[in-house]
Amino acid sequence: MISSNYPANSEIARLTARMLLEVNAIHFNSRNPFTLASGLPSPTYIDCRKLISYPRVRSTIIDFLTITVMRNVGFEFFDNIAGGETAGIPFAALVAERLGLPMSYIRKKPKGYGRNARIEGSIFESQNVLLVEDLTTDGGSKLSFVEAIRQTGAKCSHTAVIFYYDIFPETEKILGRKGITLHKLCTWWDVFEEAEKNDEFDSETLSEVREFLEQPRKWQEKKSK
């Protein structure tokens, strides 16, 4: 169990952004945009998987994620911690360890052989399950994982992520309509502020990234032409 004596949420956001930049999990490229899973372009890319290779950063971020959930929801609310395949699995395991709770993970689709399982580990009826992931963009994958958890008879009304894009206004509305509350450590705006303050990228790149963050759909439409 971890101490409840941790920084305010605003400081947790700043420190998380600082750590993501320090381990090079943040990438900005305005001239050769990245292609997202949706097929759309983006001048930003984040790779939270890198965090597992940095023990001090990893430990601090997991402490932050755990205390954020405890503060927002309660200290004895959850019975099980579930990770989403694949990026959420290590983070869910670490949060479960902090809270002394069982851990399970949810496949994107049934295994396809053997038991044809979609859930690995044990989730029981009426348990309150926290879904842990590395990040969320529009919340789409969360809905699928939550549905799989609820099909067991368990309850899942909260998901916790290290990083939330926070540039698509429909995301939290989509989750909210399905009875899911999102908990996060930091957003692109926190990262941008920290990067700008510490001269992490040149002014041209930062200007392009700001334009994207302020109007992502418009920026993508322009770059897709």
Query: What is the domain-level CATH number for residue 204?
Result: 3.40.50.2020
In contact, 105 and 121? CB cutoff 8 Å: yes
Rg of the chain on CA atoms, in Å: 18
**pLDDT over 90 at 52, yes or no:** yes
**Is 107 part of any domain?**
yes
* Alpha-helical regions (H) of the chain: 9-22, 55-73, 88-99, 140-150, 170-177, 188-197, 203-214, 216-224
Lowest mean pLDDT among 15-24, 57-66, 141-150, 216-225: 216-225
Question: What's the maximum distance between 2 C-alpha atoms anywhere in the chain?
Answer: 54
Domain of 178 in residue numbering reads as 9-224
* Percent of the residues in the chain that have a pLDDT greater than 90, as a whole number: 84
Mean pLDDT for the chain overall = 93
Q: Which of 173, 179, 177 is nearest to 159 (CA)?
A: 179
Distance CA 188, CA 166 (A): 7
Give how far Cα 194 sits from Cα of 5, 55, 62, 213, Å: 24, 22, 20, 15
What's the total number of domains in the chain?
1
Q: Which amino acid is at 129?
A: V
Question: What are the residues facing 45 on neighbouring strands?
Answer: 27
Residue 172, domain member (yes or no)? yes
User: Would residue 2 count as lying in a domain?
Assistant: no
- Asked whether residue 186 is assigned to any structural domain, the reply reads yes
- pLDDT tens by residue, 59-117: 999 999 999 999 999 999 999 999 999 999 999 999 999 999 999 999 998 877 767 78
Q: Is residue 67 part of a domain?
A: yes
Q: How far apart are CA 132 and CA 217, in angstroms?
A: 27
Does residue 146 sit within a domain?
yes
**Quick check: 193 and 10 in contact, CB under 8 A?**
no
pLDDT for residue 218: 93
Confidence of residue 139 (pLDDT cuts 50, 70, 90): confident
Whether 94 is covered by a domain: the verdict is: yes
pTM of the model: 0.94
Share of the chain above pLDDT 70, in %: 97
| 2-46 pLDDT, tens digit each | 666 789 999 999 999 999 999 999 999 988 999 887 788 999 999
Q: Record the tokens describing residue 203, joined without a space.
A: 């002014």
Q: Dihedral sign, CA of 121, 107, 171, 68?
A: positive
- For residue 1, tell me if it sits in a domain: no
